[in-house]
Amino acid sequence: MEYQQRTYRDHLKEGRWRSFTCKVKETDLWIGVDTASYQPEMAAFTEEIVRRLREEMETYLATDKEYTQALCPYTPDESAPAILQEMATAARQAGIGPMSAVAGAVAQRVGQAIRQRFATREVIVENGGDIYADIREDMDIAVFAGSSPLSDKVGVQVPAEFSPLGICTSSGTVGPSLSFGKADAVMIICKECALADAYATAFANTIQESGDIPVCVEKLEKEKDILSAICIKDDKVGICGKFKLKLFNHDH
């Protein structure tokens, strides 16, 4: 398990970012801001935001057990906090259960809060392989795909003009999240991070073998909210969307 998300953080450590981490219970975030915008009090502020978000969600979920267990679209009570409503909406669009969008939704909330409070020029938040990016310069991102020979070798160039956006990856072979597929990785980029997260889970569920990739790509192309997508299974890759494919060498 240890290798499942750390490699992202290695890629993102280049000189562009001044970074810090935030761990609260199961939430484990890596936050990068442009070096000029960095302020030491960002870490404490982020922890406070995460604690508040978790508390809001946990309080509601203690009374609505179905929300956490639902594997198909689910409508929470009107009293549910905004973040849980947001997750449910995103998951409904992707046709799956709302908890599939939790990492992306939290990443976006945290990124937006930091940007608002500290007027950062750029901020990225990585939460278990899901990334919220508010950037002013283009960014290259590699796809981590576990034991696939293509892992960390392919990715996309994310143009800053589409920012802010969510870059989310789901896998049936790597990491703790529930997946019914056997994709090594499906990376989805959308304007909304919760939506990218839900779609990544939904499409990773449809890939059992490398032969499923063409059908998956065909379906991905029909989803107007998906800006870009990459699917990897074994030594096969499928890509669609607006962003350029980027190849990385071994030492990236």
Residue 252 lies in a domain: no
54, 25 Cβ separation under 8 angstroms: yes
DSSP for 64-105? -HHHHH-SS--PPPTTS-HHHHHHHHHHHHHTS-GGGGHHHH
* Amino acid (one-letter) located at 203: F
Residue 173 lies in a domain: yes
Structural contact between residues 46 and 30, judged by C-beta atoms closer than 8 angstroms: no
- Write down the pLDDT at residue 2: 38
Q: Is residue 164 part of a domain?
A: yes
Give domain status of residue 153, yes or no: yes
Task: Look at residues 178, 174, 41 and name the one whose alpha carbon lies nearest to residue 114.
Answer: 41
Residue 202: the pLDDT is: 94
pTM above 0.85, yes or no: yes
Identify whether 193 is part of a domain: yes
Instruction: Walk along the chain (252 residues) and give the pLDDT tens digit of each residue.
Output: 334 445 556 666 667 899 999 999 989 999 999 999 999 999 999 999 999 999 999 999 999 999 999 999 999 999 999 999 999 999 999 999 999 999 999 999 999 999 999 999 999 999 988 999 999 999 999 998 888 999 889 999 999 999 999 999 998 766 555 556 788 899 999 999 999 999 999 999 999 999 999 999 999 999 999 999 999 999 999 999 999 999 987 554
Residue 118 CB partners (closer than 8 Å, separation 6+):
33, 37, 39, 42, 45
Structural domain that includes position 161:
3-247
Output the pLDDT for position 3. Answer: 41
Q: How many structural domains are present in the chain?
A: 1
Q: What is the CATH number of the domain that holds 85?
A: 3.10.520.10
Looking up tokens 């890939």 gives 207
Cis peptide before 76 (omega within 30 of 0): no
Nearest alpha carbon to residue 175 among 127, 115, 210: 127
